[in-house]
A and B are shown apart, each in its own frame.
Chain A
Amino acid sequence: MYRTVGFGTRSRNLKPWMIAVLIVLSLTVVAVTIGLLVHFLVFDQKKEYYHGSFKILDPQINNNFGQSNTYQLKDLRETTENLVDEIFIDSAWKKNYIKNQVVRLTPEEDGVKVDVIMVFQFPSTEQRAVREKKIQSILNQKIRNLRALPINASSVQVNAMSSSTGELTVQASCGKRVVPLNVNR
Chain B
Amino acid sequence: IASGVIAPKAAWPWQASLQYDNIHQCGATLISNTWLVTAAHCFQKYKNPHQWTVSFGTKINPPLMKRNVRRFIIHEKYRSAAREYDIAVVQVSSRVTFSDDIRRICLPEASASFQPNLTVYITGFGALYYGGESQNDLREARVKIISDDVCKQPQVYGNDIKPGMFCAGYMEGIYDACRGDSGGPLVTRDLKDTWYLIGIVSWGDNCGQKDKPGVYTQVTYYRNWIASKTGI
Instruction: Name A residues whose Cβ lies closer than 8 Å to a Cβ of B.
Output: 72-75, 77-78, 81-82, 168, 171-172, 174-185
Contacts and interface: CB of A to CB of B under 8 A. Distances in A.
B191 A174 contact: no
Interface in B35-73: none
A100 to B, nearest CB: 9
Q: In the A-B complex, list the 8 residue pairs whose CB atoms are closest, starting with the nearest.
A: A175-B106, A174-B106, A171-B98, A175-B194, A175-B195, A81-B192, A78-B190, A178-B100
B9 interface: yes
B140 A179 contact: no
Given A82-B192, A168-B98, A181-B189, A175 B105 contact: yes
A77 B196 CA distance: 12
Q: How large is the interface on B (under 10, 10 to 19, 20 to 34, 35 or more residues)?
A: 20 to 34
B192 A74 contact: no
A114 to B, nearest CB: 14
Contact of B108 (A74, A81, A184): A74
A177 B192 CA distance: 11
Contacts of A177: 10-13, 100, 103, 193, 195
B120 to A, nearest CB: 11
B9 A171 contact: no
Contacts of B31: 174
Contacts of A181: 11, 189, 193
Interface in B170-199: 189-196
Contacts of B13: 177-178
A45 to B, nearest CB: 20
A177 B99 CA distance: 10
Contacts of A179: 8-11
B142 A185 contact: yes
Contact of B196 (A74, A82, A168, A180): A74
B111 A72 contact: yes
B196 A175 contact: yes
Contacts of A182: 8
B203 interface: no
A59 B185 CA distance: 30
7 contacts: A74-B190, A172-B98, A175-B103, A176-B193, A177-B103, A181-B11, A183-B140
Contact of A77 (B8, B10, B192): B192
A171 B99 contact: yes
Contacts of A183: 5, 121, 140-142
Contacts of A82: 191-192
B112 interface: yes
A36 to B, nearest CB: 29
A114 B99 CA distance: 23
B194 A72 contact: no
A179 B10 CA distance: 6
A72 B220 CA distance: 13
